[in-house]
Chains A and B, each alone.
Chain A
Amino acid sequence: MSLPSPAPKLSAPDGRAAAAPAPAARPVIPHLAACGFPSPAEDHYGACDELDLNQRCIANPVATYFVQADAGVSMVEFGIFPGDTLVVDRSITARNGDIVLALYDGGFLVKQWHVQGGRLQLRSGHPDHAPIQIGPEEEVEVWGVVTWSFRKQYRR
């Protein structure tokens, strides 16, 4: 999660940033994997006296994935800009108003999940983008619910 570090420190149950080894000089395994998932039931960020972005942004590491928004301006009203990193949790069931990563018409879409009077819409966050009405014959699958998004501000 923390942008300056290449390591998504999902694997440090005590949440101590200092516990991660220096990621340098490993050409074979150049990037630390998001692995070693702590049990979701554990209060693995519990007794910790440091602030960790994982603790804030990832409720369930096992079901959490990162994706990159490539959506142009269609979601800017929800604060999602091109190039933003999205945190997606597959263990959450989408509710009205959630931002979701949906599978629609064979592709991934980031939209707002909107249900009204038994009718489903995928809404965009831009006046130029009309909501997508989902007909009774059509299929939409929620791949996951977007829980956080973030972007680099410094010398981007």
Chain B
Amino acid sequence: MFALVDGNNFYASVERVWQPELRGKPVIVLSNNDGCAIARSQEAKALGIKMGQPLHQIPPEVRRQLHVRSANFALYGDMSARVVAVLRDLFPAVEVYSIDESFCDLAGVGDRLALAAHARSRILQWVGVPCCVGIGVTKTLAKAANKLAKSTVDGVVEIVDPLEQLREFPVDDVWGVGPRFAARLGAEGILTAADLIRADAETLRARYGVVLARTQLELRGTPCMELEEAEADRQQIVVSRSFGSEVTAREDLAQSVATFAARACEKLRARSLQAGGLWVWLNTNPFREGAAQYHPSRSIAFPVSTTDTRQLLGVARAMVDSMWRPGYRYKKAGVGLLDLSRGSVAQGDLFAGADVRVTPLMEVLDQANRRFGRGAVGFASATSRRGPAPAWGMKQSSLSQAFTTRWDQLLRVK
């Protein structure tokens, strides 16, 4: 049994915690270099702002009503770590799934709904961000339940009867059903999640393959998704793994994180996307009784979106260096690529001079890895101790302060 806890319009909600004047107003958060809307408050959604919509495509009369903020990943990363810390304190096990979503294990929990409501109110009080909780016997059902919870007052939904509760749930909102599948399914009359549950399993597997067959099983209540292989939403690429054995040395840890980062970059380029931010986190083993626990998490925005593995590895290395502490036994790490955009949409930085040589080199690298196996060709970044990338100037015209990570940017109060 799983609970999926996710922050409502997370980036926009975090901005509101620190800027109460934004409450009740249409707020959007823009991607790196102020390109596209990557978070929208409810009021902004009501104005018709679409996810990923470029600012310049929003009609001026709508734009005038909007409160626009540049993505402040330092702030979002810190507030996200606080949410996860609250969850770790309340649930037997927590798997961070993306910067604003975590799966919580409900094994052995008696009153699930009461615990979910408690978690929700504690996050609201301690962190200030409203959350929703979806509960189900599989992660796919928990994810669907979370979506249903978004339109309820108390923000908690448990799916006990998938056929009934997902009767009107659009099939393309089901986790793992992409728009491509949804179009084909729709042509066959499979329009809702309930339709998908009822579809003949053999036919489905034959026509759509094993991935959709597993999604159907999950919707029917048979868990078959390993959490770590789950793909985060289209806004983020997350690669996280538990280590075979616990890691204590900084170099070993950095090497693992570099491997995850390289894998994430491959996924990024396979989907023709570029990343505007990087998020790295480390975990000790919460199941080791008596061991000192440490769950650092840090995120950073790039001045120019990038697909460059070398650049990302350099920054990931610097982040590991800044988080690593001696005396802890690390069990797991993760790398998230944030603020994804299509290659053509993102604007280059006039002064940074995008390196045109990078793209062919990266293609060669990916091809070699496909051909010779993953990891055949890579960068020696984990051992080369590259310095961090230069502190470029970034176009962030409406950036809020780093309220929780910079002494010189604290909130000033009268």
Instruction: Report whether A71 and B325 are in contact in the complex, using a CB–CB cutoff of 8 Å.
Output: no
Instruction: Report whether B298 and A70 are in contact in the complex, using a CB–CB cutoff of 8 Å.
Output: no
Dominant SS among interface residues on chain A: loop
Answer yes or no: B173 CB below 8 A from chain A CBs: no
State which of B149-157, B347-355, B365-373, B406-414 sits at the interface with chain A.
B406-414
A61 to B319, CA, bound (A): 21
Instruction: Report whether B294 and A62 are in contact in the complex, using a CB–CB cutoff of 8 Å.
Output: no
B291 to chain A, nearest CB (A): 10
Chain A residues, CB < 8 A from B297: 35-36
Chain A residues, CB < 8 A from B321: 21, 26
Chain B residues, CB < 8 A from A103: 20
Instruction: Report whether B391 and A101 are in contact in the complex, using a CB–CB cutoff of 8 Å.
Output: no
Answer yes or no: A32 CB below 8 A from chain B CBs: yes
Instruction: Report whether A21 and B407 are in contact in the complex, using a CB–CB cutoff of 8 Å.
Output: no
Answer yes or no: B74 CB below 8 A from chain A CBs: yes
Chain B residues, CB < 8 A from A12: 325
Chain B residues, CB < 8 A from A71: 413-414
B319 to chain A, nearest CB (A): 6
Answer yes or no: A85 CB below 8 A from chain B CBs: yes
Instruction: Report whether A28 and B414 are in contact in the complex, using a CB–CB cutoff of 8 Å.
Output: no
Instruction: Report whether A34 and B410 are in contact in the complex, using a CB–CB cutoff of 8 Å.
Output: no
A61 to B89, CA, bound (A): 13
Chain A residues, CB < 8 A from B48: none
Partner pick for B77 among A33, A61, A65, A72, CB 8 A cutoff? A33
Partner pick for B318 among A28, A39, A60, A68, CB 8 A cutoff? A28
Within 8 A of A (CB), among B268-314: 282, 292-298, 300
A40 to B293, CA, bound (A): 11
Residue of B nearest to A90 (CB): B126
Instruction: Report whether B81 and A101 are in contact in the complex, using a CB–CB cutoff of 8 Å.
Output: no
Partner pick for B414 among A32, A40, A65, A70, CB 8 A cutoff? A70
B405 to chain A, nearest CB (A): 4
Instruction: Report whether B319 and A29 are in contact in the complex, using a CB–CB cutoff of 8 Å.
Output: yes
Instruction: Report whether A90 and B125 are in contact in the complex, using a CB–CB cutoff of 8 Å.
Output: yes
A33 to B300, CA, bound (A): 11
Answer yes or no: A42 CB below 8 A from chain B CBs: yes
Instruction: Report whether A28 and B74 are in contact in the complex, using a CB–CB cutoff of 8 Å.
Output: no
Within 8 A of A (CB), among B124-168: 125-128
Chain B: interface residue total (CB-CB under 8 A): 50
Answer yes or no: A13 CB below 8 A from chain B CBs: yes
Partner pick for B413 among A11, A25, A61, A67, CB 8 A cutoff? A67
B379 to chain A, nearest CB (A): 18
Partner pick for A31 among B125, B318, B389, B406, CB 8 A cutoff? B406
Partner pick for B411 among A27, A40, A91, A108, CB 8 A cutoff? A108
Answer yes or no: A59 CB below 8 A from chain B CBs: no
Instruction: Report whether B126 and A91 are in contact in the complex, using a CB–CB cutoff of 8 Å.
Output: yes
Answer yes or no: A20 CB below 8 A from chain B CBs: yes
A34 to B321, CA, bound (A): 15
If A62-B126, A107-B414, A110-B414 touch, whether A33 touches B85 (CB-CB below 8 Å) is: no
Instruction: Report whether A31 and B388 are in contact in the complex, using a CB–CB cutoff of 8 Å.
Output: no
B274 to chain A, nearest CB (A): 18
Task: Fill in one digit per residue for A3-14: 1 if any B CB lies within 8 Å of its CB, else 0.
Answer: 000100001111
Within 8 A of A (CB), among B303-336: 315, 318-319, 321-327
Q: Which A residues have a C-beta under 8 Å from some C-beta of B?
A: 6, 11-14, 16, 19-21, 23, 25-42, 44, 60-63, 65-72, 74, 85-86, 90-91, 101, 103, 106-110, 143
List 7 A-B residue pairs with CB atoms under 8 Å apart, sorted by A's residue number: A26-B388, A32-B405, A38-B293, A40-B86, A44-B293, A66-B410, A67-B410
Beyond the given pairs A11-B296, A21-B325, A33-B78, 17 more chain A to chain B contacts, judged by CB atoms under 8 angstroms and listed by A's residue number, are: A14-B292, A16-B327, A27-B390, A28-B389, A29-B318, A32-B322, A35-B298, A36-B295, A37-B81, A38-B293, A42-B293, A63-B82, A63-B126, A63-B127, A66-B410, A108-B20, A108-B414
